[in-house]
Amino acid sequence: MFRLICQRPGISRVELADAAELSTGTVTQIVKRLRHRGLADEGAVSEARAVGRSRVGLSACLEPDRLIGISVRPDLIRYVVVDWSGAVREERTIVARHPAEQGPVIDRIGLVLADQRGTIRGVGLGIPEFPAGIRDQALGWAGNFRRALEVPVTLLNNGVAAAMAEEWRWVDDPPERFLLVYFGSGIGGALVHRRRFGRPPSVHPVEIGHVGISPQGVRCVCGNVGCVETVAGPAVLARQWEGLSSVPARAALVETAEEALTYALSSVINVLQVDQIVLGGLNARLLERYYGTLAAHLERLSTPRGARVKPLLSQIGDHSAAIGAALAAIDGAGDDEAV
């Protein structure tokens, strides 16, 4: 409901009810709660009616409260400040290639945020599935944020966080179900299913990078051998790309990666029966470099229902997981809300 008010300033309760397919009584109670929390306000009467109540427009209150999103990856940490509409107010990337470097970075972020206590309404913390032990470490960070800021802290998977950002930004005609393929240092993913209007979407993590494709392959960080991530992961491609100087060699590298990903995604598509795929997590330049023709590979696939797969490139960029982590503080989609 809050999203609709953000997207359509001046919308009335009756128009909200029509858009949401809810009763006006239910909408009135939701709007009452939004006003009580300081998230919405009533504007001037914009239309007088001869019979019944006048039309009163609603507007979102986006300042000064803010939401913080932090995405931790094995190679870097991304930090964003967003308002309640999902608009990014501030963003920063900090290179931290070793676990020992990441703790001090998170501590410094905590000190900066502590000076702004009172204007921050929630914190979202996105983390990778691997390496092992990152979740225990992240629980400690979350506890420190909660104590320092006295706000709820939501902890969730980076792929799930990025999917939350994609779903939030999909203003016009969002699909009922879609699969996000998240490219970070490795490859994650999440399935998004809209259950009904007015409820947070159902978002489920999906293993893509750790689908086995070669029993004779190299060992993956997950402990298995021959995972798709060992062939097609962004960190792997970046290292190999720099070691190649010729255009044909780089093209062959991309082709091998895309074939591996197509193989893995064909299984995922058949199991989950999704016909909409979004490729995101990297900025447009890197997506084009490493996975520029992946969409063409995927368009040849079809679901068991006979529908053609529709791949899209994300327009959010490489801050999607951090943005989604912040938005999860609104939707409450984390694994351990209010840690």
Q: Mean pLDDT throughout 47-52?
A: 51
* Per-residue confidence (pLDDT) for residue 169, from 0 to 100: 75
Largest CA distance in the chain: 78
Cβ-based neighbours of 21, under 8 Å, separated by 6 or more: 197
Same CATH topology for 2-60 and 66-160+320-331?
A: no
* Per-residue confidence (pLDDT) for residue 338, from 0 to 100: 43
Does the pLDDT value for residue 214 go beyond 90?
A: no
Alpha helices by DSSP H, listed for the chain, are 2-7, 13-20, 24-36, 99-114, 134-149, 158-169, 229-232, 234-242, 247-272, 284-291, 294-298, 320-331
Dist. CA 200–CA 194, nearest whole Å:
8
Give domain limits for the chain: 2-60, 66-160+320-331, 171-313
Dist. CA 328–CA 200, nearest whole Å:
9
Alpha helices by DSSP H, listed for 170-226, are none
Q: What proportion of the chain, given as a percentage, has pLDDT over 70?
A: 89
* Per-residue confidence (pLDDT) for residue 276, from 0 to 100: 85
131 pLDDT band, cuts 50/70/90, is confident
Does the pLDDT value for residue 50 go beyond 50?
A: no
Tokens of 15: 């128009």
49 pLDDT band, cuts 50/70/90, is low
Quick one: which of 290, 75, 269 has its CA closest to 177?
269
Pick the CATH number of 2-60 from 1.10.10.10, 1.10.1060.10, 3.50.50.60, 1.10.3720.10: 1.10.10.10
Does the pLDDT value for residue 59 go beyond 50?
A: yes
Q: Mean pLDDT throughout 214-237?
A: 90
Dist. CA 276–CA 175, nearest whole Å:
8
How do residues 226-262 score in pLDDT, each as one tens digit? 999 999 999 999 999 999 999 999 999 999 999 999 9
Residue recorded with tokens 């591996």: 260
Q: Mean pLDDT throughout 269-275?
A: 82
* Per-residue confidence (pLDDT) for residue 200, from 0 to 100: 62
CATH code 3.30.420.40 for 66-160+320-331: yes
CATH topology assigned to domain 171-313: Nucleotidyltransferase; domain 5 (3.30.420)
Weakest mean pLDDT among 53-67, 261-275, 323-337: 323-337
46 pLDDT band, cuts 50/70/90, is low
